[in-house]
């Protein structure tokens, strides 16, 4: 693999560079019978026929490096965002590759804040882009849907979709997703459901804060150990949730002001920190831990009086003799 600096240096040394805005039609790859990259390409910067900077459908790209030493016409490229001076108020497709003449250009990166605060309507990412970078789609208030294809991304960084208030659906989050950053979907107030894939190792603070239409959260068995602070705060339509095995703690205010009426906690649960379930209308806690978890300032007396606590049959006496959990009037077997 020949990296970007070497590519540019080699081309500069080998031939004449031209900054020539030029327009010609190009073809994108056919996927499912659809020409996902077809359109008008505008070259901003060409060196020895290699398009180092170009746009298609008013989205700017830059060439990064030679993608395949065996096939010298294959290059990786980065998505920069909307073309300067072009308001972006449409659906966007990032194709798996773009064929321009003899060159095959494959998007592998998106720049930080690439589409932030634009009027983009939807984004369909068909390229193998490993990371959705920080603030890439932040405050895209017209964005309604996001679709991923294949085994990418592996990382969704901080505030990537924060403030996308019309975002209703996210399709195709891959099993290989490892990281959902802090504030990643904060204030996505129209998002109704989310599936957390099995390989997620980090779930960020405030990740789904104020997603007040969120009614369904489903976890595959993940590798993270905590539901972090403020993660699902103010998710008013989230009435029930099942926390997967392996999670050991609900951090501060994790579900504060959520709509929870029922929560299932795993056998690995060890601690409930301040406010994690406060200001919720809880009626049932299904707690699979045989050893009673430690508890901070979580429950009011009214909650204690009205919640039915379901615990393993062989551990009922432990809960009834625990300094905190014995306060619950209704302790029954799972």
Mean pLDDT calculated for residue range 101-111: 91
- Residue of 142, 141, 137 lying closest to 121 (CA atoms): 142
Give the count of beta carbons closer than 10 Å to the beta carbon of residue 237.
Answer: 13
Exposure letters 178-201 (e unless 16+ CB within 10 A, then b):
bbbbbbbbbbbbbbeebebbebbe
Task: Quote the CA–CA distance of 24 and 294 in Å, as a whole number.
Answer: 66
pLDDT 10s digits, 35-92: 344 445 565 556 667 788 888 888 999 999 887 777 778 899 999 999 877 778 889 9
Query: How far is it, in rounded angstroms, from Cα 170 to Cα 184?
Result: 13
Cβ 118 vs Cβ 65: under 8 Å: no
Q: Determine contact, residues 56/80, Cβ cutoff 8 Å.
A: no
Average pLDDT, the chain: 87
Mean pLDDT of 200-208: 97
**In this structure, which CATH number among 3.90.930.60, 3.90.1150.10, 3.80.10.10, 2.60.40.10 belongs to the domain 112-221?**
3.80.10.10
Q: What is the tens place of the pLDDT at every residue in 7-43? A: 443 333 333 334 444 443 444 444 443 434 444 556 5
What residue segments make up the domains of the chain, in order of their start? 1-111, 112-221, 225-334
- β-partners of residue 154 are none
Q: Which is more confident, 264 or 47?
A: 264
pLDDT surpasses 70 at 203: yes
pLDDT reported for residue 10: 36
Q: Measured between alpha carbons, how far is 152 from 254 in angstroms, rounded to an integer? A: 28
Place of tokens 């560079």: 17
């Amino acid at each position: 693999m020949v990296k970007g600096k070497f590519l540019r240096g080699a081309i500069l040394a080998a031939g004449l560079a031209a900054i020539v805005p030029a327009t010609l039609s190009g073809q994108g790859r056919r996927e499912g019978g659809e020409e996902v990259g077809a359109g008008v390409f505008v070259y901003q910067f060409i060196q020895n026929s290699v398009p180092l900077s170009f746009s298609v459908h008013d989205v700017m790209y830059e060439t990064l490096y030679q993608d395949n030493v065996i096939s010298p016409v294959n290059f990786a490229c980065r998505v920069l965002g909307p073309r300067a001076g072009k308001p972006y108020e449409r659906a966007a497709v990032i194709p798996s590759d773009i064929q321009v003449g003899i060159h095959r250009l494959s998007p592998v990166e998106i720049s930080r804040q690439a589409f932030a605060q634009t009027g983009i309507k939807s984004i369909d990412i068909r390229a193998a882009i490993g990371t959705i970078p920080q603030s890439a789609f932040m405050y895209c208030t017209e964005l309604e849907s996001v679709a991923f294809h294949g085994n990418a991304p592996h990382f969704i960084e901080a505030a990537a979709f924060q403030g996308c208030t019309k975002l209703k659906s996210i399709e195709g989050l891959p099993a290989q997703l490892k990281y959902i950053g802090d504030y990643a979907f904060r204030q996505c107030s129209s998002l109704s459901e989310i599936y957390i894939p099995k390989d997620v190792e980090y779930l960020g603070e405030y990740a789904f804060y104020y997603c007040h239409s969120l009614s369904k959260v489903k976890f595959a068995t993940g590798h993270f150990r905590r539901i972090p602070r403020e993660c699902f705060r103010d998710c008013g339509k989230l009435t029930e949730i099942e926390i997967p095995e392996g999670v050991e703690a609900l951090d501060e205010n994790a579900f504060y002001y959520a709509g929870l009426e029922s929560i299932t906690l795993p056998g690995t649960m060890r601690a409930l920190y301040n406010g994690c379930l406060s200001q919720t209308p809880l009626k049932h806690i299904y707690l699979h831990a045989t050893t009673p978890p430690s508890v901070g300032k979580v429950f009011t007396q009214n909650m204690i009086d009205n919640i039915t606590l379901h615990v393993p049959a062989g551990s009922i006496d432990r809960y009834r003799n625990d300094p905190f959990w014995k306060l619950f009037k209704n302790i029954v077997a799972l």
